[in-house]
Amino acid sequence: MRILSLCALALSLLSLPPARAAEPVRGVYLASWEGLQALERLPEGRVNTLLLAFLRLCGPHELPKDRAACAGKPAHGLSDGAVEAAFNHALRQRKQREPGLRVWASVGGWGGSDGFFPMAASAATRAAFIAEVKRYLLAHDATDGIDLDWEHPGGNGAANGVPLGGPQDGAHYLALLRELRTALDELGREQGRRYGLSVAVNVTRPVLQRLHWPTIVPLLDHVFMMSYDYHGAWNPHTGHHAALLGAGRDDSLEESVQTLRAAGVPARKLVAGAAFYARAWQGVRSPRPGTAASGPGLNADGALGWRELKPLLLQPGWQRGHDAARAADWAWHPRRGIWLSYESPAAVRAKAQWAREQGLGGVFAWEWTQDDGTLLREF
């Protein structure tokens, strides 16, 4: 009888339809400082993943601009306040209309990651942070997961004038993810839902090699690949900042995917990043990538959103080109000596198509408010 029951069970399992594969990510980061109108402007149904940026860490290395939001918060706490509460209300309503939309709260970001270094360094400080994450999730029920945007374990590039980081950060990063994943699972059981965990990572080889990916990967839902800013005004020469192709070079999505796959990360967890902004240089005398430059062009940091760039390129004097070998676009103004690297609608379309062909987990962009809607349509 037991054998017959087991056989019947096996046959019933075989008759079940195959499990539905997870829908690939179509996501954007949305800068909370742009206000609720940025969310209202995002077309419904266009994305299935929204990453609200950024929550900051309070306490050690707290930024002056975050002091008001961090007032009264514990060390290693989160900087949420009225803005996040307003977004939670709006997102709860939006998810009623879009039940497939998943919302992630992103912590850190460039210039906002210094607090990760002391927080991740001990079990006690990690526990303080994790308690704050749980508090945030309970208070913001529209949020489905936490995205850690620590830039970057091993070295912060002196983003705020103080160099931080060292070889110990790899172990601290792993410990933080392990303990946070355990806490999210426990909270999920209590609340009857599952909370996701993702990371956003710089995808150049030196940063990726600091982390033990085979141990990290099982803890994560997604690895958001920041496959942009490969080059910028911090370099003394021009270069494609978001190139798709370039095997063997440490400045392309293609090579970054190969590096992560070789490290043991399955393709389905990798989400390719698109840039809704350009990087610009000045003092450039040739349209050829790799030409010497004297500093940032167009504005102080050399970054310009697509919304501003699109009409600019229609003005007289601009030469535009496409590097087929890199699947990357550029523009040059000979008289002004400005050269810029950007992703056109065609480039975003090619990146999204390539991600599908490679079996990646989807595509996302930084950052929605920099678009006029034409780039997002290419997802």
Average pLDDT over the chain, rounded to whole? 94
Q: Given phi > 0 = left and psi -120 to 50 = alpha, else beta, which region is 254?
A: alpha
Give the whole-angstrom CA distance, residue 172 versus residue 176. Answer: 6
Segment among 101-105, 185-189, 240-244, 294-298 with least mean pLDDT: 294-298
What is the model's pLDDT at position 21? 53
For residue 17, what pLDDT is reported?
Answer: 38
* The token pair that represents 158 in the structure block: 């002196």
**Could you give phi then psi for residue 98, rounded to 5 degrees?**
-125, 80
Question: Which helix (H) or strand (E) element contains residue 305?
Answer: strand 303-305
Question: At a CB cut-off of 8 Å and minimum separation 6, what does 125 contact?
Answer: 75, 76, 118, 119
pLDDT value of residue 3: 45
Cα atoms found within 13 Å of the Cα of residue 111, Cβ hemisphere only? 6
Question: What are the DSSP E strand ranges found in 68-113?
Answer: 102-108
Closest among 25, 317, 347 to 198, alpha carbons compared: 25
Best CA proximity match to 234, nearest among 157, 166, 286, 332: 157
Is the separation of the CB atoms in 250 and 224 below 8 Å?
Answer: no
Contact 145, 51 (CB under 8 A): no
Q: Residues 240, 245, 247, 250: what is their CA dihedral angle, to the nearest 10 degrees? A: 30
Taking residues 86-111, report their average pLDDT: 98
For residue 316, the 8-state DSSP code is T
This prediction's pTM:
0.93
The DSSP bridge pattern shows strands 295-296 and 277-282 to be antiparallel
Q: What is the pLDDT of residue 1?
A: 43
Centroid of chain to Cα 283: 31
Task: Tell me the pLDDT band of 161, cut-offs 50, 70 and 90.
Answer: confident
Tell the burial category of 337 from Cβ atoms under 10 Å away from its Cβ (0-12, 13-18, 19+).
middle
Give me the pLDDT at residue 22, please.
Answer: 77
Give the integer Cα–Cα distance in Å for 132 and 117. Answer: 17
Write out pLDDT tens, residues 9-52: 444 434 333 334 579 999 999 999 999 999 999 999 999 999 99
Contact 233, 297 (CB under 8 A): yes
Share of the chain above pLDDT 70, in %: 94
- Do the Cβ atoms of 47 and 379 come closer than 8 Å? yes
Task: Name the residue type at position 17.
Answer: P
223 forms beta bridges with 199, 270
Q: What are phi and psi of 110, to 5 degrees?
A: -60, 130
Closest CA to 49 of 374, 333, 376, 364: 364
Q: The domain 21-226 is classified under which CATH number: 3.20.20.80, 1.10.10.60, 3.40.50.12780, 3.40.50.2300? A: 3.20.20.80
What would the two tokens of residue 234 be? 């911090």
